[in-house]
Amino acid sequence: MYKPVNLAEGVFYVGVNDRRTQLFENIWPLERGVAYNSYLIKDEKIALIDGIEIGQIDKFLKKIRAVIDSRPIDYLVINHMEPDHAGSIQMLFELYPEMQLVGNKKTIPMIEGFFGITDRLIEVEEGSNLELGSHSLQFFMIPMVHWPETMVTYLKEEKILFSADAFGSFGTLDGGIFDDELEFDYFRDEMRRYYSNIVGKYGSPVQKALGKLSGLDIKMIAATHGPIIRAHIDEMLEMYQQWSTFKGEKGVVIAYASMYGHTEEMAEVVARELSEQGIKAIRMYDVSKTHPSYIISDIFKYNSLILGSPTYSNGLHPNMDALLSKLETIGIPQRNFSFFGSFTWAGAAVKRLKAFAEASGWDIIGIPVEEKHALKDEKYESCRQLGREMALRINQ
């Protein structure tokens, strides 16, 4: 028999872990899986806060029944309509024929669009309340964090914020459900990878959401992915403040593509010079080996970036081009930026990297280095000079 996890009196965690899916949204690697979090409030009325991915429905229903047995669910609160949470709506709607779906004016058309459901709907607005008995829910809209219909639900009596995808993380909950029950350092990194790749483009809406939620007394943050936050609330809010304003800490990411090792050699020379100049936070990535989600996560973390690529078919190496495309989509407003490249008969990579920097509005640090064929003494020294100038900027 499942032993329910209590968040507070009458408030239960009924989420599930997914260790089988390899790619989140069929894009982002899940080395340690992902949790789909859902919450149940048991009162005079019963409210379920968000659903789960439909492939996990059997485990989900078993947990719900362990809490409420045969009692009906009165309300399903839909904070976010993305299918990894909303995929179970149709089945829940059929299993609980008196259950009403609670969403905002942007949620309602999505419910019809995904499931053809047009009845048993309750539309809530900014600040609306829903009374359950001794518990009451209040709703706040946080559009574009990271879908237009996203809202959060605040349980006033227990001061719990059910935050949808905001404050979420990759990674399954392996025994521990709360942040103080597990290895939080791991989740801190996975929260940044989740934020930077899923939410990262929407810094301005996140800022607006943080401003709106700052007026709430929050004792617990219960997101739809990752651990429930109760011991690191201030740190979590500060991380979102930093990420949403795109402020990087001192350090540098070096990401390169290399077909036969010449561009990689240039990256090694730059990295060594950075180290000799006192820079310790150096993260190096081969874009053909490391998934861009990890690289982008560290680009959010650090204030400086160096990219290198060989010329390939009169352009960038395809994997470097893919990384640049993702960065252009996110639109990070500022990083200290340097770049280098190599070629055999006609150089184009350095020109493309320069165009990217200019379009991004980033500061170009030092003189870009471009080498024909293998790395020779003159360009070796140019790579060192590039490292010195970037180190000077970082140390400033």
| Whether residues 53 and 198 fall in one domain | yes
| Whether residues 195 and 291 fall in one domain | no
| Whether residues 170 and 38 fall in one domain | yes
Structure tokens belonging to residue 356:
């990217």
Structure tokens belonging to residue 241:
């403040």
| Whether residues 303 and 190 fall in one domain | no
Q: H/E/C letters for each residue in 256-318?
A: ECCCCCHHHHHHHHHHHHHHHCCCCCEEEEECCCCCHHHHHHHHHHEEEEEEEEEEECCEECH
| Whether residues 253 and 200 fall in one domain | no
Q: Which domain holds residue 288?
A: 249-395
pLDDT of residue 65: 96
153-190 pLDDT tens trace: 999 999 999 999 999 999 999 999 999 999 999 999 99
| Whether residues 322 and 196 fall in one domain | no
Are 297 and 193 in contact, with CB atoms under 8 Å apart?
Answer: yes
Structure tokens belonging to residue 316:
């960038």
User: What residues pair up with 391 in beta bridges, in sequence order?
Assistant: none
pLDDT of residue 390: 98
* Cβ atoms within 10 Å, residue 221: 24
Are 162 and 222 in contact, with CB atoms under 8 Å apart?
Answer: yes
pLDDT of residue 128: 97
- Residue 121 carries which side chain, given as an amino acid letter? L
pLDDT of residue 83: 95
pLDDT of residue 179: 97
2 phi and psi angles, rounded to 5 deg:
-70, 130
| Whether residues 97 and 22 fall in one domain | yes
Interatomic CA distance for residues 357 and 306, integer angstroms: 11
| Whether residues 214 and 271 fall in one domain | no
What average pLDDT does the chain have? Answer: 96
Checking if the pLDDT of 2 tops 80, the result is no
Read off the CATH number of the domain in which 260 is found: 3.40.50.360
369 sits in which H/E element: strand 369-372
Of 220, 244, 268, which marks where a domain is finished?
Answer: 244
- Tallying the residues shown for the chain, one arrives at 396
Q: What average pLDDT score do residues 362-381 get?
A: 96
56: left (phi over 0), alpha (psi -120 to 50) or beta: alpha
| Whether residues 79 and 134 fall in one domain | yes
Are 121 and 103 in contact, with CB atoms under 8 Å apart?
Answer: yes
Q: Tell me, rounded to whole angstroms, the distance of Cα 59 from its chain centroid.
A: 25
Read off the CATH number of the domain in which 150 is found: 3.60.15.10
357 sits in which H/E element: helix 349-360
Of 244, 279, 299, which marks where a domain is finished?
Answer: 244
Interatomic CA distance for residues 150 and 69, integer angstroms: 30
pLDDT of residue 3: 85
Checking if the pLDDT of 347 tops 90, the result is no
Pairing between β-strand 220-222 and β-strand 249-256 as defined by DSSP bridges: unpaired
| Whether residues 103 and 211 fall in one domain | yes
* Cβ atoms within 10 Å, residue 201: 17
Tokens 């914020």, located at residue = 161
pLDDT of residue 4: 85
* Cβ atoms within 10 Å, residue 10: 19
Of 187, 210, 244, which marks where a domain is finished?
Answer: 244
Interatomic CA distance for residues 341 and 266, integer angstroms: 8
User: What residues pair up with 364 in beta bridges, in sequence order?
Assistant: 337
265-287 pLDDT tens trace: 999 999 999 999 999 999 999 99
| Whether residues 253 and 225 fall in one domain | no
Is omega for the bond preceding 146 within 30 degrees of 0, making it cis? yes
CA atoms within 13 A on the CB side of 371: 23
Checking if the pLDDT of 1 tops 90, the result is no
Interatomic CA distance for residues 336 and 338, integer angstroms: 7
Structure tokens belonging to residue 366:
């030092």
- 3-class secondary structure, 217: coil
Q: What average pLDDT score do residues 207-228 get?
A: 97
Structure tokens belonging to residue 88:
């179970």
Interatomic CA distance for residues 108 and 121, integer angstroms: 8
Interatomic CA distance for residues 294 and 355, integer angstroms: 24
Pairing between β-strand 100-103 and β-strand 75-77 as defined by DSSP bridges: parallel
Looking at the structure of the chain, the number of domains it has is 2
Interatomic CA distance for residues 136 and 16, integer angstroms: 25
Q: What average pLDDT score do residues 207-227 get?
A: 97
Structure tokens belonging to residue 96:
């609980």
Checking if the pLDDT of 203 tops 80, the result is yes
Tokens 């160096």, located at residue = 306
| Whether residues 268 and 322 fall in one domain | yes
